[in-house]
Amino acid sequence: MATNKSAFSRRSFIKGMVGAGVAGLLPCRFLVPQAQAAAFDPEEFQVFRNACPRNCYDTCSIKTYVKDGVVRFIEGAPESTFTRGGLCVKGYAYTRRPYSPDRVKYPMVQDGRRSGKWRRVSWDEAMDKIARKILELKEQDGNLLGLGMTKYSGNFGITNYAVEGLMSSLGYTTRFVGTPCWPAGIDAQNYDMGNMWCNDPEDMVKSKYIIIWGANPAWCSVHTMKYIMEAKRRGAKVVVVDPVFTQTAAKGDVYWQPKTASDGALALGMARHILDKGMVDRNFTDNHGLGFGEFADYLRGNVTVEWAAEQSGIPAEEIRQVAEEFASADPATIWIGYGMQRHTNGGASVRSIDALVAMTGNVGKEGGGARYGHLQTWGFNYNAMIQQKPEGSVGFVGGAAKGEFDFTSGSEASYSDRTVNINKTAQNILDTKDPALRMLWVSCKNPFGQDFDRPKLEKAFDTLEMVVTVDQFFNETVANSDIVLPVTTLFEEWTVNASYWHYWLGLNEQAIKPMYEAKSNIEIGMALSRKMNELSPGSCTFPQEPDTREWMAKEFNQGIYDLFGIDDWTALKNGPVKAKLASSASWSTFQFGTPSGKYEFRSDICKDNGHMALPEYMEPRKSYDKFRLLTPHTKFAIHSQFLNLDWMQEYDKQPYLYMHPEAAAEKGIKDLDMVRVFNKVGEQKVVAKLTTNVAKDCLLIYEAWFGKGSTFNVQNLVDDESADMGEYKAGAPGVAIHDQFADVEKA
Ligand code: SF4
C-alpha cells in the first residue's frame, strides 16, 4: 500500500511542481491546479484544513485530501484570495514528508555522537534517560540553568510554543533568544514608526511604482508575485534592487545590482535628489513627521547623488531618474527584503529606505508603504507557553527582566530564565558559566543547518553532556545528538498559523494519525512531565493528559475572534479567514507608535540605544577576503527542510557555487569544475557554475541540506558577526549573514 500511495502522490507532486516552477516566472493565477482537480472526485476523500508552518511570507492555507487514512493530495485553499488554490514547490512536496523512508520513526539513542550507531528505544526509555539527566543537573547545580533550549521557526504552529512551556514547567532554564531572520529591520521600523506593520500585500495591485529591495518573491513569496504582476499590467513600474539577478529581477522594468551593503547610501542618494527637486510631501513631513528638517540638513551636508553612485555602483543619472519617478508616482511602495538587513549596517539601511517612503508621503497610504512585515494578527493567548515553574525553582539573578508569563512572587520574583543570543549559539555554549550549559534541548530548529560557524558549533556541542533533538529527519544536528525524538508533520497535529506578511488565519487539523511513533511537541511535553513526576513528584508542571484539541481552544480569545469575524476557532474548519481591516494600509490614521506619535525621522530612542538618531549612512563591514560570499535560501528549500526529500532532489540534485565568468577566468576555474571555497571560518568543496547573474566580486552558494550522506553546509563559511540592530525588540542583535567573505580555488 505504501508503494502505491507514494507513486500516486509523486505524480501529483510533479504536476504541482510544473505549476509552481512556472510560478517563479508568471502570475500565480497559473498556480490553480485545474489539471489535478479534474483527476479527482472530491467526494471520495475526507477533506482537512492544514496550514504551512514554515517560516515563509506566504503561510499558505492548505486543503488536504485523505483516503483510507493516507494523505493523497493537497492544494492551496481556494477560499483565501492570497493563496488562491496554489502552493509553492516546497508546499507540493509536503505529501512526501510523513511517508519519507528517511524519517525519524521512533525515539532513538546514539551510542557515540556522529557514530551513526543509533538504536531504537521506547518512549518510556527515552523519557527516563532525559528525566534522570534533568534531575541530575538540578541536584548537582542547585538549579536547571545548565539546561538550554534552542528553538526557532522550523514549525511556526502556535501550539509549538509548548516547547518553551515545557522548559518553564521544569524550572528556570537557559534560553537562546533573538531571531536570525529580521531583527535589525524590526528595530529600524520600531524606531521610525513605533512598530513593524506592513500594508496588506494584496493592495500592491494599487501601487503605481514598486521597488522590490533585496527580496526575491518569485522564489520566496510566489503568491505575492501575482499582485506585483497585476500592478504591472495596470501600468505600474517595477524596480528590483538585488546584488543577484534573480527571477524577480527578470520580471522587473529596471534592475539595479548595487554593491552589496550599499543600500543605505543608495536610498540616501535618492532622498537627496528628491529633496533638491522639491518633491518632498510637506503635508506628511510637517503634520505627521518629527525631525524631517534635521534629516534634510543631514542630506544637504553629507550626501550627494554622485557620492551615492560611487558607494553603490549605480550611475548617478539612474539614481536621479528612479528617485523622481518614485516621488511622483502615487502611490509608490518599497518592499524591504530581509536579506538586505542581514548586514552590520542593515538596520541603518532600513531606516534610510523607510525615510524615502515617508518623505514622499507614501506611509499610511493604500498601495504605498515601507513593507517589511507585521505581527498584527498574532494576538493569541500563547497558552502552550504559559506554565508555572515548580515550587522552589531557583533561577538566574540579575538577568533579563521577568517575562510576561512569569508568575513568581516574593524572593523568587528576582529569578529569571538565563538568556543568551541565538545568533551566537556556538560561542554561548562555550562561554556560559555558573553553571555551564550541560544539556541542550533542540526543537523546531537545525542549528547545524542554520546557525553560524559550523566548525565552532561542533566543538561546542562536544562540550555538552546530553543533546536531545526533536526532529523529523536525521540531519546534522541529530548526528550531533544523543537522543532523537520523532515529531509530527503538519498533517499529524493540531495547531493554528498566522502570517507575518498577509492577513489570513489558517487552521491546521490533524488529518492522519501520526506515522510510526511520532508525537507533537505538546505530547512530548506531556510524556516528559509524566516521567519527571514519576521519578520526582512535583518536578514538572506541564499538563500530562489533556486532548491536544483542548489546547487549540485555549489559544483563542475575543480579540482574535473580533479581528477575524468568527465566533469560535472551529469556524476555521470551513476555511481560512481574513482579518477585518479598516484599511489595507498600515498607519492609515497616522497615529504612530513612537513616543511623539509621529513618524520619527529623528528617533531619540534609537540614539539612546547607541545608534544614530537620524537615518544616517553607516559604513559596511570591512572585507576580510577576496570575494563577498552570499548564502541566501534556494527556491527548493528553507534551511535544511525539503531538499533532503528524494522528490525534490529530482529537480535540484546538488549544490553549486555561482560565480561570474570573468572572476572565474582569473582563478583558472571553468564551468562545472570542483572548487574549494575557503575563509577564516572553514571551507566547502562544491561544483562551480559560471553566470553573469552574480557580480564579479561575489560568490553565491544557496543554503540547503541535501539529505543523508551530504557533507555540504554553507555554515562552514559563515561567521556570527552581529548586525547593527535587533536587541531593542528581538532581545538580541541580528546576524550579518551577507557580510561574509571568502576565496576560491580549483579543488
Ligand atoms: S513554503 Fe511558503 S509558499 Fe510554500 S507552501 Fe509553505 S507557506 Fe506556501
Residue type at position 218: A
Please tell me the predicted confidence (pLDDT) of residue 651. 86
Q: 89 CA to middle of ligand 1, Å?
A: 8
Q: How many percent of the chain have pLDDT more than 70?
A: 93
Cβ neighbors of 41 (< 8 A, separation 6 or more) are none
Mean pLDDT of the chain: 93
**Residue 54 in contact with ligand 1 by CB distance below 6 A:** yes
Q: Which of 87, 225, 505 to mutate to test the pocket of ligand 1 (most atoms within 8 A of CB)?
A: 87
**Alpha helix locations (H) across 603-668?**
604-608, 646-649, 661-666
Strands 174-177 and 147-151: parallel
Write the DSSP assignment of 261-300 as a string of letters: T-HHHHHHHHHHHHHHTT---HHHHHHTEESHHHHHHHHH
At residue 409 the predicted structure's pLDDT band, cuts being 50, 70 and 90, is low
Strands (E), 472-520: 483-486, 495-498, 504-508
**Residue 332 in contact with ligand 1 by CB distance below 6 A:** no
**Residue 89 in contact with ligand 1 by CB distance below 6 A:** no
Q: Which three cell numbers stand for residue 627?
A: 570575494
**Residue 88 in contact with ligand 1 by CB distance below 6 A:** yes
Predicted confidence (pLDDT) at residue 417 exceeds the cutoff of 80: yes
- In DSSP terms, 212 is beta-bridged to 240, 335
Cβ neighbors of 366 (< 8 A, separation 6 or more) are 199, 203, 206, 331, 583, 584, 585, 588
At residue 122 the predicted structure's pLDDT band, cuts being 50, 70 and 90, is very high
Q: Name which residue sits closest to atom 8 of ligand 1, judged by CA.
A: 60
At residue 415 the predicted structure's pLDDT band, cuts being 50, 70 and 90, is confident
Ligand 1 atom showing the smallest separation from residue 94 Cα:
5
Please tell me the predicted confidence (pLDDT) of residue 28. 32
Nearest to 690 by CA among 712, 717, 669: 669
Q: What is the pLDDT of residues 495-515, one digit of tens each?
A: 999 999 999 999 999 999 999
Q: 76 CA to middle of ligand 1, Å?
A: 9
Predicted confidence (pLDDT) at residue 6 exceeds the cutoff of 50: no
**Residue 496 in contact with ligand 1 by CB distance below 6 A:** no
Q: What is the pLDDT of residues 692-731, one digit of tens each?
A: 999 999 999 999 999 988 999 999 999 999 999 999 999 9
Q: Which of 50, 54, 156 to mutate to test the pocket of ligand 1 (most atoms within 8 A of CB)?
A: 54
Nearest to 127 by CA among 523, 464, 513: 523
At residue 154 the predicted structure's pLDDT band, cuts being 50, 70 and 90, is confident
Q: What is the pLDDT of residues 617-663, one digit of tens each?
A: 999 999 999 999 999 999 999 999 999 999 998 888 899 999 999 99
**Residue 521 in contact with ligand 1 by CB distance below 6 A:** no
Q: Which three cell numbers stand for residue 93?
A: 512536496
Q: 701 CA to middle of ligand 1, Å?
A: 22
Q: What is the pLDDT of residues 106-116, one digit of tens each?
A: 999 999 999 99
At residue 153 the predicted structure's pLDDT band, cuts being 50, 70 and 90, is confident
Cβ neighbors of 490 (< 8 A, separation 6 or more) are 50, 51, 52, 53, 62, 94, 155, 157, 508
Q: What is the pLDDT of residues 539-585, one digit of tens each?
A: 999 999 888 888 999 999 999 999 999 999 999 999 999 999 999 99
Please tell me the predicted confidence (pLDDT) of residue 15. 53
Please tell me the predicted confidence (pLDDT) of residue 407. 61
- SS3 state at 338: coil
Q: 560 CA to middle of ligand 1, Å?
A: 23
Of residues 197 and 709, the one with the higher pLDDT is 197
**Residue 87 in contact with ligand 1 by CB distance below 6 A:** yes
Question: Which residue do the cell numbers 561570474 mark?
Answer: 660
**Residue 577 in contact with ligand 1 by CB distance below 6 A:** no
Q: What is the pLDDT of residues 365-408, one digit of tens each?
A: 999 999 999 999 999 999 999 999 999 999 988 665 555 556 66
Q: Which of 59, 75, 90 to mutate to test the pocket of ligand 1 (most atoms within 8 A of CB)?
A: 90
Please tell me the predicted confidence (pLDDT) of residue 24. 34
Q: 331 CA to middle of ligand 1, Å?
A: 28
Q: Which of 13, 31, 52 to mutate to test the pocket of ligand 1 (most atoms within 8 A of CB)?
A: 52
Of residues 648 and 410, the one with the higher pLDDT is 648
At residue 2 the predicted structure's pLDDT band, cuts being 50, 70 and 90, is very low
Ligand 1 atom showing the smallest separation from residue 56 Cα:
2
Q: 54 CA to middle of ligand 1, Å?
A: 7
Please tell me the predicted confidence (pLDDT) of residue 40. 61
**Residue 635 in contact with ligand 1 by CB distance below 6 A:** no
Q: 66 CA to middle of ligand 1, Å?
A: 20
Q: Which three cell numbers stand for residue 579?
A: 482579518
Helix, strand, coil share (%) of the chain residues, nearest 5: 35, 20, 45
**Residue 56 in contact with ligand 1 by CB distance below 6 A:** yes
Global pTM value: 0.93
> Can you count the helices (H) and strands (E) in the chain?
26, 29
Q: 90 CA to middle of ligand 1, Å?
A: 6
**Residue 62 in contact with ligand 1 by CB distance below 6 A:** no
**Residue 60 in contact with ligand 1 by CB distance below 6 A:** yes
Exposure pattern of 679-697 as b/e (b: 16+ CB <10 Å)? bebbbbebebbbbebbbeb
Q: Which of 50, 59, 96, 499 to mutate to test the pocket of ligand 1 (most atoms within 8 A of CB)?
A: 59
Q: Name which residue sits closest to atom 5 of ligand 1, judged by CA.
A: 91
Please tell me the predicted confidence (pLDDT) of residue 31. 37
Predicted confidence (pLDDT) at residue 59 exceeds the cutoff of 60: yes
Q: Burial-class residue 559 by CB neighbours within 10 Å (0-12, 13-18, 19+).
A: exposed
Question: Which residue do the cell numbers 559550523 mark?
Answer: 454
Predicted confidence (pLDDT) at residue 242 exceeds the cutoff of 50: yes
Cβ neighbors of 745 (< 8 A, separation 6 or more) are 667, 669, 675, 676, 678
The stretch 293-304 carries a mean pLDDT of 98
Q: Alpha-carbon distance 384 to 197, whole Å?
A: 26
Q: 741 CA to middle of ligand 1, Å?
A: 31
Predicted confidence (pLDDT) at residue 38 exceeds the cutoff of 70: no
Please tell me the predicted confidence (pLDDT) of residue 3. 34
**Residue 91 in contact with ligand 1 by CB distance below 6 A:** yes
The stretch 351-378 carries a mean pLDDT of 98
**How far is the first Cα of the chain from the last one, in angstroms, to the nearest whole number?**
46
Please tell me the predicted confidence (pLDDT) of residue 255. 98
Ligand 1 atom showing the smallest separation from residue 222 Cα:
3
Please tell me the predicted confidence (pLDDT) of residue 35. 47
Please tell me the predicted confidence (pLDDT) of residue 411. 66
At residue 4 the predicted structure's pLDDT band, cuts being 50, 70 and 90, is very low
Q: 283 CA to middle of ligand 1, Å?
A: 40
Q: 96 CA to middle of ligand 1, Å?
A: 15
Q: 37 CA to middle of ligand 1, Å?
A: 20
Of residues 75 and 41, the one with the higher pLDDT is 75
Ligand 1 atom showing the smallest separation from residue 59 Cα:
7
Nearest to 100 by CA among 6, 218, 200: 6
Predicted confidence (pLDDT) at residue 464 exceeds the cutoff of 90: yes
Q: Name which residue sits closest to atom 7 of ligand 1, judged by CA.
A: 59
CB 338 within 8 A of CB 723: no
Cβ neighbors of 623 (< 8 A, separation 6 or more) are 741
Q: 404 CA to middle of ligand 1, Å?
A: 31
Q: Which of 153-167, 254-268, 343-357, 466-480 has the lowest mean pLDDT?
A: 153-167
